Amino acid sequence: MSSLDGLGVALVTPFHRGKVDFQALGRVIDHVLSGPVDFLVSLGTTGETATLSLEEATQVVRFTVEHTASRKPVVCGLFAGNNTQALVDLMSRFDFSGITALLSASPAYNKPPQEGIYQHYMALAETSPLPIIIYNVPGRTASNLTAETTLRLAHGSSKFIGIKEASPDLMQGMKVLKHRPESFKVWSGDDPSSLSLLAAGADGVISVIGNALPQAAGSMVRAAPKTILHEPDITITGFSISMNGST
């Protein structure tokens, strides 16, 4: 999954007179791929997934895969919801061709406890034919996936390859970074705080602003101080901060 390091862009879904505007979606994809972008996310929250019919969602995914034409990996964010069994059933009949991984947000509205969220994700892991990126976005789901539950999932199934962490609590993201398995990735899911999480050792960003500014967003991610990732050795002397020997 090294192909998913760096910048992923959660694509918008353009509309015209109440219908998905596929011509405009194609232009969005081409614009995003004009920058240093590493992968695309189709049907994330930004893609209006919650308000699309299954037919529309399927058409959007297939169009995105075909229009991208293997230029970059495509991650599918369709498999999020509060009906676990319905998601399992959808997984059993969905066409995953051309898709590299899935992005799955925690159940919304129900506000399940941590054990409920854990069991929800484990049920998806048992069914999914593809790797899964966990998505913690408490501002939309009304529940927070704690660092402890994230780490439990990371160690509980190899199907989970990482988390898109959109919690406003940077300490939570840093705890996951410190204790995660070596192969488990962390992407910032919050544009305003993404630089901070990158500086703490995150593997990349799944961005919204990248739809408009792919060059700037990609350049920021590539400029992340790779030499100080993963538990930097920081010392403070007077007004100078030294990180791994650099001041």
pLDDT of residue 242: 44
Catalytic residue among 72, 118, 121, 135: 135
Six-digit token pair at 18? 């109440």
pTM for this entry: 0.89
Question: Helices 147-156 and 170-179: crossing angle, nearest 10°?
Answer: 30
Round to whole Å and give the CA distance between 79 and 97: 15
DSSP the chain: -GGGSEEEEE----EETTEE-HHHHHHHHHHHTTSS--EEEESSGGGTGGGS-HHHHHHHHHHHHHHHTTSS-EEE-----S-HHHHHHHHTT---TT--EEEEEPPPSS---HHHHHHHHHHHHHH-SS-EEEEE-HHHHSS---HHHHHHHHHH-TTEEEEEE--S-HHHHHHHHHHS-TT-EEEE--GGGHHHHHHHT--EEEESGGGT-HHHHHHHHHTS-GGG-SS--EEEETTEEEETTB-
Q: Are 197 and 181 in contact (CB under 8 A)?
A: no
pLDDT of residue 1: 64
Q: Are 136 and 170 in contact (CB under 8 A)?
A: no
Nearest to 7 by CA among 230, 232, 210: 210
pLDDT of residue 226: 59
Q: Is 109 a catalytic site residue?
A: no
CB atoms within 10 A of CB 244: 12
42 strand-pairing partners: 76
Catalytic residue among 164, 178, 185, 226: 164
pLDDT of residue 2: 73
Task: Please report, for the chain, the start and end positions of each structural domain, with discontinuous segments joined by +.
Answer: 2-243
Round to whole Å and give the CA distance between 137 and 128: 21
pLDDT of residue 162: 98
Q: Is 135 a catalytic site residue?
A: yes
In tens digits, the chain (247 residues) has pLDDT values of: 678 999 999 999 999 999 999 999 999 999 999 999 999 999 998 999 889 999 999 999 999 999 999 999 999 999 999 999 999 999 999 999 999 999 999 999 999 999 999 999 999 999 999 999 999 999 999 999 999 999 999 999 999 999 999 998 999 999 999 999 999 999 999 999 999 999 999 999 999 999 999 999 999 999 986 534 444 444 434 434 344 444 3
pLDDT of residue 224: 84
Round to whole Å and give the CA distance between 80 and 197: 24
**Ramachandran area for residue 48 (φ above 0: left; ψ -120 to 50: alpha; else beta):** left
Q: Are 194 and 164 in contact (CB under 8 A)?
A: no
Class of the 2-243 domain?
alpha beta
